[in-house]
Amino acid sequence: MSVHLLSLLIWLPILGGLAVLAAGDQRPGVARILALLVTVAALVSSIPLYTGFDGGTAAMQFVERMPWIEAFSIFYHLGVDGFSMPLILLTNFFGVIVVIAGWSSITKRVHQYMASFLILQGLMVGVFAALDGMLFYIFFEAMLIPMFLVIGVWGGERRVYATIKFFIYTFLGSVFMLVGLIWLYLQSGSFSILDWHALPLSLTAQTWLFLAFFTAFAVKVPMWPVHTWLPDAHVEAPTGGSVILAAIMLKIGGYGFLRFSLPITPDGSAYLDWLMIGCSLIAVVYIGFVALAQQDMKKLIAYSSIAHMGFATLGFFVIFAIMRSAADSDTAIEVAQGAALGISGGMIQMISHGFISGALFLCVGVLYDRMHSRDIDAYGGVANKMPWFAAFVVLFFMANSGLPGTSGFVGEFMVILSAFHANFWYAALAGLTLILGAAYSLYLVKRVLFGDVANQEVAQLEDINVREALILSVLAIAVLLFGVWPAPLIELMQPTVDQLLNHVMQTKVP
């Protein structure tokens, strides 16, 4: 059983999705219940992934390896380490959330909606579990199809523009990676990512490869300046689509940097780390200001996502600056600690942002279901009518601005601490986010929740129902839990982080 656990987690949702599709348009109730059962089953099946995971080793676990395309030595090769395991759990967790969130708000073609999300879930788990470059690419690209349909069919007014922009943008980014993957195969005779980690490459080759990976993952994260698809996609997507996009899909970009860019092209990464750090800092500061100016709630959260993901990429790539700046002054142990803080901080930030942004989009969805407006000006004094809801919203926005005690604080603090090891100014600029994040978060909370009841529609709002309260409470617990007690997560990925750092510190130039 446990031997094929990862396959189960990939194919259960996909086949479940096909089963939901077979339920047909006439029986939306059946489609909903079937989808819920499948996602719960997937979540329950992923518990052994956590309990059976050996936190003391950086080696790949739950490995499955079967020949797939023999002529080009492509394997159906799956496995997880400290980076991918938490992300798979996060994916399966949000699978259930999304089905519940769309329970009553989706009334049109329910079976296709549920099936799209189930198939998407399986493909995303596949992305995190794939250890073969071609397998990874196939999951990575196939993911676009269900998301394209979700935004296009169940989205808002400008959904067609948004979804085609989303598709073309991400497709264009990833084809360069495809060329890079094929080039790596021609160099190494293997599509195995682990083989590529050990492959010596010249600095020129590494630089080009790094740029190929960069186009794919930077678009996915998304990093400034290739972020423009995200606000459009988020605004037009249905609530479930926004949640998955923010909570999981963006993480795939960050994960790609950890799985591909850093270990395969360490020298290229070191050579171009200024690019990554620069883009990340611009994302943190400039996009923070952009978020402040938004009138649309979803757009504000989308921009805040870009800024927060900037932290993750900053954490991943600041390690090179730490090694350089510390070469003469600090001791080796301190350097290693600083760098490890950056990478684990980035990972924690990604997972915490998954919970927080998912929760924020759900909150906007709750309001949108009632008033069909995302415009901040349409609201005011909502707290008077929806006190329970207001409590959740305040909590999540506080977490979003990095309040200590919430998970949002942990990742940001670790990355800023790590940036201090590299350069005071990196840390200072990144630290601005604590002000900016608080500014745009609280400004939104003030305008939407507090004050007098703004208009007749707000006056008629009803507080959240049990279903909504349930998912928001689960997310609230997660945000607080990781806020006060992140140690299990950090310890879990520690060996993987250490191994990555050891690997990255050694040059691969022959």
Partner 1 sequence: MTANDLFIALPELFILGMACLIMLIDLYLPDNRRGMVSFISVMTLVFAGIMVMRWQVTDAATVQYAFNETFVRDSMADVLKLFCFVVLGAIFIYAKHYLRMFKLFQGEYYVLSLFLLLGAMVLISAASLLTVYLGLELISLSSYALVALDRDNRRGSEAAMKYFILGSLASGLLLYGLSMIYGVTGTLSLSGISEMAALASNNITLIFGLVFVVIGVAFKLGAVPFHMWVPDVYHGAPAAVTMLIGSVPKLAAFAMAIRLLDNGLSPLQDQWMGMLTVLAALSIIIGNLVAIAQTNLKRMLAYSTISHMGFMLLGILSGTAQGYSAAMFYSIAYAIMSTGAFAVLIMLSRAGVEAENLDDYKGLNQRSPLLAAVMLMLMFSMAGIPVFVGFFAKWLVIQAILDVGLLWLAVLAVVFSVIGSFYYLRVVKLMYFDEPETEVKVTAPADFRFVLTINGLAQLLLGIFANALIALCVASF
Q: Among 148, 392, 396, 440, which residue interacts with partner 1 (rule: CB under 8 A)?
A: 148
The Cα–Cα gap between 56 and 49 comes to: 15
- Amino acid in position 137: Y
22 binds partner 1 (CB under 8 A): no
Contact 489, 397 (CB under 8 A): no
Contact flags string 84-113 toward partner 1, x per CB under 8 A:
-------------------------x--x-
Task: Give me the half-sphere count of Cα atoms (radius 13 Å) on the Cβ side of residue 289.
Answer: 6
Provide the phi-psi class of 405: left if phi over 0, else alpha when psi is between -120 and 50, else beta. Answer: left
217 lies in the binding site for partner 1 (CB under 8 A):
no
Under rule CB under 8 A, residue 127 binds partner 1: no
Task: Specify the residue, 183 or 388, whose C-beta has the smaller distance to partner 1.
Answer: 183
CB of 139 to partner 1, least distance (A): 8
Query: Which stretch in 143-151, 320-328, 364-372, 475-483 sits in contact with partner 1 by CB under 8 A?
Result: 143-151
> Does 333 engage in binding with partner 1 (CB under 8 A)?
no
Cis peptide preceding 225, ω within 30 of 0: yes
Given candidates 40, 48, 50, 68, which one binds partner 1 under the rule CB under 8 A?
A: 68
Give the shortest CB-229-to-partner 1 separation in angstroms: 14
Stretch that binds partner 1, among 51-59, 141-149, 213-221, 463-471 (CB under 8 A): 141-149
Rule CB under 8 A: is residue 466 a binding residue for partner 1?
no
Q: Is 425 in the site for partner 1 (CB under 8 A)?
A: no
- The minimum distance between CB 175 and partner 1, in angstroms, equals 4
Examine residue 211 and tell whether it contacts partner 1 (CB under 8 A). no
Say which residues have a Cβ less than 8 Å from residue 377's Cβ, sequence separation at least 6: 295, 447
**Total chain residues near partner 1 (CB under 8 A):** 37
Smallest separation, CB 245 to partner 1 (Å): 18
Between the two ends of the chain, the Cα-to-Cα distance in Å is: 42
- Site mask for partner 1 (CB under 8 A), range 151-180, x = bound: -xx-----xx--xx--xx--xx--xx-xx-
Q: Produce one character per residue of 102-138: b if its CB has 16 or more CB atoms within 10 Å, e if not.
A: bbeebeeebbbbbbbbbbbbbbbbbbbbbbbbbbbbb
CB of 179 vs partner 1, minimal distance in Å: 6
Q: How far is the CB of 23 from partner 1 (least distance, A)?
A: 12
Q: Is 377 in the site for partner 1 (CB under 8 A)?
A: no
Q: Rule CB under 8 A: say whether 214 interacts with partner 1.
A: no
Are the C-beta atoms of residues 80 and 6 closer than 8 Å to each other? yes
Does 66 bind partner 1 (CB under 8 A)? Our answer is: no
Nearest to 360 by CA among 36, 40, 88, 101: 101
What string of DSSP letters covers 263-308? HHSHHHHHHTHHHHHHHHHHHHHHHHHHHHT-SBHHHHHHHHHHHH
**Residue 19 lies near partner 1 (rule: CB under 8 A):** no
List helix spans (H) across 82-202.
84-101, 110-129, 133-142, 144-154, 159-188, 193-197
Q: Which is nearer to partner 1, 190 or 357 (CB)?
A: 190
Shortest distance, CB of residue 137 to partner 1, whole angstroms?
Answer: 7
- Residue type for position 460: Q
| Candidate residues 145, 434, 438, 474; the one interacting with partner 1 per rule CB under 8 A | 145
What sections of 326-452 are H helices per DSSP? Answer: 332-371, 382-385, 387-400, 407-422, 424-449
Written as six digits, the tokens of 154 are 């169940």
Beta bridge partners of 132: 192
Among 132, 141, 232, 273, binds partner 1 (CB under 8 A): 141
User: Does residue 15 interact with partner 1 by CB under 8 A?
Assistant: no
Q: Is 439 in the site for partner 1 (CB under 8 A)?
A: no
Report, in Å, the least distance between residue 91 CB and partner 1: 19
Q: Is 138 in the site for partner 1 (CB under 8 A)?
A: yes
413 is an interface residue for partner 1 by CB under 8 A = no
Q: Does 271 bind partner 1 (CB under 8 A)?
A: no
470-473 long-range contacts (CB < 8 A, ≥24 apart) are: 470/100, 471/97, 471/100, 471/101, 471/362, 472/359, 472/362, 472/363, 472/389, 472/392, 473/392
Which of residues 68 and 289 has its CB atom nearest to partner 1 in the complex? 68
CA dist 293 and 34 (Å) reads 42
Shortest distance in whole angstroms from residue 69 CB to partner 1:
5
- The whole-angstrom separation of Cα 173 and Cα 179 is 11
Phi first, then psi: what are they for 46, rounded to 5°?
-85, -5
Binding residues for partner 1, per CB under 8 A? 25, 67-72, 109, 112, 134, 137-139, 141-142, 144-145, 148-149, 152-153, 159-160, 163-164, 167-168, 171-172, 175-176, 178-179, 182-183, 185-186
